[in-house]
Structure 1
Amino acid sequence: MRVVLAGGGTAGHIEPALALADALRRIDPDTQITCLGTERGLETRLVPQRGYQLALIPPVPLPRTLTPQLLTVPGRLRGAINAAAGILDQAQADILVGFGGYVATPGYLAARKRKIPIIVHEANPKPGLANKLGARFTEHVAVAHADTPLPNARVVGIPLRREIATLDRLAMGDKARSYFGLMPDLPTLLIFGGSQGARSLNRAAVAAAPAFRQAGIQVLHIVGPKNNEEPEPASGGPQYVTIPYCDRMDLAYAAADMAMCRAGAMTCAELTAVGLPAVYVPLPHGNGEQRLNAEPVVAGGGGLLVDDAELSPDWIVHNLLPVLADPARVAAMSEAAARLGRRDADDALARMVYEVVGAGQR
C-alpha cells in the first residue's frame, strides 16, 4: 500500500501523522509512506528523524476561517496543488490522509483532482479551514472529540507515539526519577509549556519554588530552549530540576504525579492516555481551542483549569499545593484522567486506512 500523509507545520499535525505511519508499518513493513511538508515546518526535522520520506511543496498559509482573504492566494495555492499532485503521482498513492494545517489544503485539493481517496483526521474540537474543506471531499472523517462539527465523523482519538501509548507510569516511576536526578519517594510535579516553553508558566513556577520546597514537593521543569528562568539554588530539601528540552517525555510523564502545562490537543491526549492529571493553562490566543481541549478532562475529574492571566505563585500555593499534598486525591484524578484517554488511536486510524483502500480496490 502507498500512503501519502499531509500533516506539516506544527508537532500537533506531524506527530499524529507519524504515529499513523508507524502503525501502518507494524501491520505491513512494506507499506510505502510519503509525508507532505514545507520547508518552514518542523517536519523538516521530525520526519527524517523517524525514517520517513518527506516531499516538500510551497507553503501557502491560509486564514483559519472562510473569509475574503482566501481570494488573495489563488496563484500560490494553484502552484502548491500542482506540486502536491505531482507527489501523489510519483508515489502512486492509494490514499491521502490529512491532519489539517496549511500543508493539508493543497493535499486535499490535489487528491480530489486525482480522484484518490481521502481520510481527514481532526484533533481539535473546532476544526480548522483545511479540514472543513477536506471533509467536503470525503465520507471518511476521523475525530478526537465526539462533538467535532464535521460530517461523517468517526471518533478514533489522536494517534500517539508508541512509547507514550504503551507507557506504564507506575512501573517506570523509579527509573524515570533517577534519570532526571529526582528523589524516588517525594511528590513530583512536571511543568512544561510545549517545545518552546511558556514564559507565564515559567515565571509563576520559578517564583513558587520556595513554596514547593517547603511543602516537600520536587519539580521537573522543562523551561524551553530560549528561556533561562531558574530558581535560586537551595541546599538540601526537594529538588527543583530545570532542563531546556526533553526528548524523553515518556520518562518525564513516568516521573511525575501531576503536570502543569498548556492544553494543546496532543498534550491532553498524551496525559489522559498515560493517566497523568494536570493543571491546564490554555494558551490565551487563537480561537479558544486549548480551553475546549481541556474542559472535558477537567469536567471528568482528571485535572484543574486556570486562565493564563490568573496563574501566579499565589494561585499555585492555594490551589495546586493542597492537591499535591493529598495522595488519595492525586490517585483519584489519575484514574479519572486515564478513563478519558485512548491508547489505540493509531491502530484505529490504520484500520480505517485499510478499510478505505480496500473498498476502493473492490
Structure 2
Amino acid sequence: MKLVFAGGGTGGHLYPALALAQNWRTNHPEDQIIFVGTTKGIETSVVPQYGFPLFLIPVEGIPRKFSRDAIKKLLLIPQSLIIAYRFLKKEKPDLVIGTGGYVSFPVVYAATLLKIPTLIHEQNAYPGIANKILARKVNAVCLTFGEAKQRLKARKIYETGLPVRSEFLQNKREDLREKLGIGEKELLLVAFGGSQGAQTLNRVIGYLLPELIKRPHIKVIWATGPKNYENLKQTYINLPEQIKMVPYIDNMPEVLPAADLAITRAGAATLAEIAAAKVASVLIPYPYAAENHQEHNARTFANHGAAVVLKDSDCSEEKVKNTILSLIDNPDVLIKMAEKAQKLLRQDALEEIIKIIKSLLRQTSNKKN
C-alpha cells in the first residue's frame, strides 16, 4: 500500500499527519508513505527528521486583503493543482490524507479528480473554505469537534478527536525534567507562539521578565519564532541562565510534558498536545483566525478549568502580570488545571482515524480485486 499525507505550512497542520504516519509505519513497515508539503512551510525541515520522503509544491497562504501579492499567490493554486495531479498520477497512491494547511487543498482535490480514495481531518469547530469544498468530494471527513458537523456537507463524517504524537503520552515527566535540569522545587514555564512565533506572546514574556528573574526557582523556555529571534536576542542581552531563549521548540514532546505552565496560542493541535502533556495553560487566541476558531478552542479549555484566557487586545502589562504571576505563585492551582486539561484529551483519536484509514484501504483493495 502507498499513502500520501498532505498537511503543513505550520506545525498545527503537520504534526497530526506525522502522528498518523508514525503509527502506520510502525504497524505496516512494508507500506510506502510520502508527504506533500510547501516550499516555505515548517515541513521542509521537520519531515526529513522523521525519515519520510517529501514532495514540495509552490502553493502559499493567501492574504485576506486584496493586493498584487494576494493575486500572485492565488494564481499558485491552479499551478499547484496541476503539479499535484501529475505527481499523484505518477505515484498512484491507495489513499490521500489531508490534515489542513494550504497544501492540503490542491493535493486532496487532485486526488478526487483521479478517483483516488481521500480522507480529510478538520481540526476546528469552524471549518475553513477549503475543507468546506473538499468535504463534499472526499470519502471521509474526521472531526476534532462534533459541532463542525453542522457546518459541513459530506458523504461520511466521523467525530474522532485530534491525533497527537505518541511521544507525548509515552515520555515520563520526571525523566524529561531531569534531562532539562529542572529541580524538584522548581517550576518550568514554556512560552511559544507556534511554528511562526507570535509577537503578542513575545511582548507578554517581555513584561514578565523582571518579575521572573526575581523568582530564580522559575525556569523559562521561551520560543520567540524564527523571524523574531535575532532582534529579541539583541534586545534582551545577558539574560540569566534561568531564561532560555530559542527560535523554535522542535522537540516539543520532550519539553511540554515537563512544564508546569504553558503560555501559547490556541490552535486545536496545540491544545491537544497541552492536554496530552497534562499541563496548565494561559491561552492567547490568535484574533485573526478563520471564524475566530482559536477563541472558541480556548474558551472550551477555560470553561473546564484547564486554562486561563487572555484576549490578544487585552494583554496590557498590568493584566499580564496580575494573571500569570498569580498562577506561578500558586503551584497547587497549576496542578488542578493540568489534571483538568488531561481530561479533555480524546485518548483514542489516533486509533479511531487509523480504523477509518484501514476501512478505506479495504474498500480500495476489494475494488481492485
Is TM (by shorter chain) over 0.5? Answer: yes
Q: Does 1:258 align with 2:298?
A: no
| Paired residue total | 352
The residue aligned with 2:67 is none
Residue 86 of structure 1 deviates from its aligned partner by 2.1
| Whole-angstrom distance in 2 between the partners of 1:121 and 1:234 | 42
Question: In structure 2, which of residues 330, 334, 341 is the aligned counterpart of residue 337 of structure 1?
Answer: 341
Verify the 8 A CA contact 1:144 1:156 in the aligned structure 2.
Answer: yes
* TM-score w.r.t. length of structure 1: 0.87
Q: Does 1:279 align with 2:286?
A: no
Match of 1:155 in 2: 159
Identity of aligned residues (%): 33
* CA drift at 1:33: 1.1
Match of 1:12 in 2: 12
| CA shift for structure 1 position 234 | 8.0
Counterpart-to-counterpart distance in 1, 2:61 and 2:320: 38
Q: Which amino acid aligns with 1:322?
A: S
Distance 1:137 1:307 in 2: 37
2:168 aligned to which of 164, 179, 198: 164
Of 249, 271, 276, 1:268 maps to: 271
TM-aligned CA distance change 1:193 to 1:27, over 3 Å:
same
**Aligned counterpart, 1:137:** 137
* 5+ residue gaps, structure 1: 65-69
CA distance in 2, matches of 1:311, 1:263: 15
2:313 is the counterpart of 1:309: yes
In 1, are the aligned partners of 2:193 and 2:225 still within 8 Å (CA)?
Answer: yes
Q: Compared with structure 1, are the counterparts of its residues 246 and 8 closer, same or farther at alpha carbon in structure 2 (3 Å cutoff)? A: closer
Identify which of 222, 240, 243 aligns with 1:240. Answer: 243
The structural deviation recorded for 1:177 is 3.6
CA distance in 2, matches of 1:254, 1:263: 17
Kept after mapping to 1: 8 A contact 2:59/2:73: no
Residues 43/213 of structure 1: CA separation in 2 closer, same or farther (3 Å cut)? closer
Tell me the CA shift for residue 147 of structure 1.
1.0
Change (3 A) 1:186 1:313: farther
Q: CA deviation at 1:120?
A: 1.1
Q: Which of 174, 177, 181 is 1:174 aligned to?
A: 177
Residues 172, 254 of structure 1: 8 Å contact kept: no
Deviation larger for 32-41 or 254-263: 32-41
Instruction: Extract unaligned runs of 5+ from structure 2.
Output: 65-69
Q: Which amino acid aligns with 2:301?
A: V
How far does residue 223 in structure 1 lie from its aligned partner after superposition?
2.6
Structure 1 residues 175 and 254: alpha-carbon distance in aligned structure 2, compared to 1, 3 A threshold: farther
Does the aligned pair in 1 maintain the 2:7–2:37 contact within 8 Å? Answer: yes
| Gap change, CA 1:94 and 1:184, over 3 Å in 2 | same
Q: CA RMSD in A?
A: 2.8
Report the Cα distance in structure 1 between the residues aligned to 2:299 and 2:53, rounded to whole angstroms: 37
Distance 1:77 1:327, change over 3 A: closer
Which secondary structure state, in structure 2, belongs to the residue aligned with residue 208 of structure 1? helix
Residues 173 and 134 (structure 1 numbering): CA distance in 2 closer, same or farther, change over 3 Å?
same
Q: 1:350 to 1:197 in 2, by over 3 A?
A: same
Distance change in 2, residues 1:358/1:246 (3 Å):
same
Once the two structures are superposed, what CA deviation does each residue of 1:99-158 show, in whole Å capped at 9, x if it has no partner?
223322222222222111111111122212221111101341101111113344312222
Q: Which moved more, 1:76-85 or 1:263-272?
A: 76-85
Query: Hey, what's the Cα distance between the residues in 2 that align with 1:231 and 1:72?
Result: 38
Could you list the per-position Cα deviations for residues 214-260 of structure 1 after superposition, in whole angstroms to 9, with x for gaps in the alignment? 4553333223333315657688xx93333333332223213321111
- Determine if contact 1:223/1:242 at 8 Å carries over to the other structure: yes
Match of 2:218 in 1: 217
Residues 261-303 of structure 1: per-residue CA shift (max 9 Å, x gap):
1112221110011111100011222332221221211111110
